[in-house]
Amino acid sequence: MIAVTGSTGLVGTHLLAHLAASTEQVKAFYRTQGKREEALKVIRDVYGDRTEASVAQMLWVQQDILDVQALSTQLKDVDQLYHCAGKISNRPAEIKITRKVNIEGTANVMNIALKLGIPKVCHVSSVAALGHAQNEKLNEGSVRDNNKSVSNYSIAKYGAEMEAWRAAQEGLNVVIVNPGIIIGEGFYDTGSGKLLGMVRSGTNFYVDKVGGFVDVKDVARSMMELMEQETFNSRYILVAENLSFKKVMHQLAGHLGQRPPKIKLRKSLLYVFWFLELILALFKIKKRLLTRQMINELHSKTYYDNTKIRESLHFKFTPIQETLKRVAKHLAFQA
């Protein structure tokens, strides 16, 4: 049996669509019925009615990864476990829950997998866990500089990855993937999907940031191939191209028939917004969104080396231009 945590997130949803052709039974963990319906709708829109019907027939289990006892029961008889669950947030008010879900939740999954003797586990981390580097490409062997100021999400994903590494040292067969900024259909109100939604809405602003981008279908495909290779206790950066946000937003705007954003949000302006939010939060008028760490990350230029995954699997990434063209077709018809 194959189990997928976080099955109604961006990666989990597209992974289920790819697993629909598997001969093994798939158990999909989800949090709410609304999220399950949203995931099935994305699968129907992108992969067709037949795939959606196959995914709908999977064994769906409403499960919180923080509930250890129930999770232990549900993970019995599992041969392959894809741990995609996590919380994406940099909001100051959500620091505790973001760390709890990512770090404690991952610790729960890994501990149970060890106890039950699950043969194969794939942990979805993030390039955020790698930190930042100047004037060099980050690769799987790069050492994270914990003295640098990073976002809450980066800390949470790093902590979660440490739990996966700890389990690997204790004997669990774990493969870790570090996707970049994931571009794919659906979920335009969270994570990287917000960037796509902003372009669709006709935003005039962009940030001076460079990062690694990857197609969600490539993420799902590479995860499955790595599990079949049985190469464990290792991690792989999943990045197709290192691109500026400006370029990605301009390309997507072109596919959507929108005017591209033209106004660069400078650090000085973002600090003004940060200060105003601080004042409003002090008087409990508005919750804070920006932090100093986020402002720094929104102006970072970080490059990633994808040599390891390309050479290990002879993997070919989808060009981001093609991904954006495909996703734009789906995005244009969303309410």
DSSP of 148-193: S---HHHHHHHHHHHHHHHHHHTT--EEEEEE-EEE-SS-TTSTTH
| Rounded Cα distance, 184 and 231, in Å | 27
Give residue 103's pLDDT.
97
- Rounded to two decimals, the pTM is 0.93
- In eight-state DSSP terms, residue 135 is S
Distances, alpha carbon 276 to alpha carbons 99, 282, 310, in Å = 26, 10, 46
Distances, alpha carbon 72 to alpha carbons 111, 124, 212, in Å = 9, 20, 35
Give residue 249's pLDDT.
95
Closest of 187, 31, 7 to residue 83, by C-alpha: 7
Count of C-beta atoms within a 10 Å radius of residue 120: 20
Strand-strand pairing, 303-304 and 137-138 = parallel
Give residue 271's pLDDT.
79
Tokens found for residue 16:
């289920």
Residue with tokens 């389990």: 167
- In eight-state DSSP terms, residue 298 is T
Tokens found for residue 82:
């894809």
Give residue 146's pLDDT.
78
Closest of 188, 176, 324, 191 to residue 238, by C-alpha: 176
∠58-78-233 over CA atoms, to 5°?
A: 120
| Rounded Cα distance, 115 and 121, in Å | 13
Q: How many helices (H) and strands (E) does the chain have?
A: 14, 14
Distances, alpha carbon 285 to alpha carbons 94, 95, 225, 278, 279, in Å = 17, 20, 49, 10, 9
Give residue 335's pLDDT.
57
Give residue 135's pLDDT.
67
Task: Report the topology of domain 2-186+212-248+303-321.
Answer: Rossmann fold (3.40.50)
Tokens found for residue 15:
């992974």
Give residue 214's pLDDT.
98
Give every residue of the chain whose pLDDT is below 50, as ranges.
none
Coil, strand, or helix at residue 283? coil
- Domain ranges (residues) in the chain: 2-186+212-248+303-321
Query: Each residue of 73-105: b (16+ CB within 10 Å) or e?
Result: ebbeebebbbbbbbbbbbbbebbeebbebbbbb
3-state SS record for 50-118 = HHHHHHHCCEEEECCCCCHHHHHHHCCCCCEEEECCCCCCCCHHHHHHHHHHHHHHHHHHHHHHHHHCC
Give residue 15's pLDDT.
98
Distances, alpha carbon 157 to alpha carbons 62, 82, 120, 178, 328, in Å = 23, 16, 21, 10, 29
Cβ-contact 61, 27 below 8 angstroms:
yes
